[in-house]
Chains A and B, each alone.
Chain A
C-alpha cells in the first residue's frame, strides 16, 4: 500500500476521516515534540504547546490549504507558540543574539591532520554525546540542526525568515562547535 502524503491526509480528515488525522499525528509527533522541547526547555510546557498545535490543525482542517506545506505549517505553528510562551515566561525570547565568533567562521581548510581526525570522529557516532552538545548550542544554531532532518536549508530559511546564507552559517557554526568540543576532549579516542 502506498504511503499517503500529508496533503492527502489533510483533505481526508477535513472531510471527516478521523483516522487520517491520527495518521498525521503519529507521523509528526516525535520530531515536533523534540523541536518544541528544544525551544522551550520545559517538558510540561512543551506538552501543552504540542497539544495546542494539533488541536489547531484539527480545528482548522476545513480551512487548511495544504499545498505540500503541512509539515512546515506544523513546525511553524509550534515555533510561533513557543515564542509566545517564551515571551510570557522568560525575559529573553530572541534567537538573534550576536554570534560570539563574529563573522570569521568560514575556515575553508581544516588545519593539518584535522580532516583525518574529523572523519574518525564522524565514524565514532557518539549519538548521545552529540545530541547533548546540540542541546547546549546557542538557540539559532540549535534550531537549524533540529530542523535539518525534516527540512531543506531553503525551507528552514523561509520558516525562520532569515537569508539562506545566515541559516547555512548557523549550521556550520554549530557543527564546528561540536567538533571542537569533541576534539578537545581527552577521553575521545582519535
Chain B
C-alpha cells in the first residue's frame, strides 16, 4: 500500500476492487489508519471556509440580476429633471412677481412641484402600461 492509495481511497477514486482490498488492509494497518485520519482532518479544516463578504455578493447582484433596468434609471433621471424645471419656474415667477411673502412663495413652489410631478408620474405610469 502507498500513501497515494490512502489519498485516492479517501477521495473515493479507487476502483471497487482496489477499495475492497484497501479496506481489508486498513483494518490492520496502523500507519494507513493514521494517514487516513490525518488526511480527513486537514481536508475538513481546509473546507471550513470563511464566508465571502456580503458587500461583495451584493456588488455581483447589483451588476447582474438586480441591476436597475434602463427604463427605471431613465425614469429617475427624468423625475429629477422635472423637479428642477418646477423649481426654476417657481424662482422665475418669484422674480417677476411683485411683493409676495416668503411663505407664499414656498407654498406656491411646493404645490406647483407636487402637481407637476403627479401629472408627470401618472403620464409615466400610463406610458409603462402601454409599452
Contacts and interface: CB of A to CB of B under 8 A. Distances in A.
B52 A29 contact: yes
Given A29-B57, A47-B56, A22 B45 contact: no
Contacts of A32: 52
A101 interface: no
Contacts of A54: 60, 64
Contacts of A152: 11-13
Interface residues of B, number: 40
Given A22-B61, A108-B3, A127 B45 contact: yes
A121 interface: yes
Given A122-B38, A153-B11, A130 B56 contact: no
Overall SS of chain B's interface: helix
Interface of A: 18-19, 21-22, 25-26, 29-34, 47, 50-51, 54-55, 58, 106-110, 114-116, 118-119, 121-123, 125-127, 130-131, 134, 145-146, 148-149, 152-154, 165, 168, 171-172, 174-175, 178-179
Interface in B41-61: 41-53, 56-57, 59-61
Which secondary structure dominates chain A's binding surface?
helix
B15 interface: no
Interface in B11-50: 11-13, 30-31, 33-35, 37-50
B7 interface: yes
Nearest to B47: A149
Contact of B3 (A29, A106, A116): A106
B2 interface: yes
Contact of B34 (A106, A115, A172): A115
B22 to A, nearest CB: 14
A116 B64 CA distance: 52
A125 B34 CA distance: 14
A70 to B, nearest CB: 16
A123 B7 contact: no
B34 A118 contact: yes
Given A29-B52, A51-B56, A172 B31 contact: no
A146 B46 CA distance: 6
Contacts of B122: none
Contact of B64 (A21, A34, A110, A122): A21
A36 B63 CA distance: 20
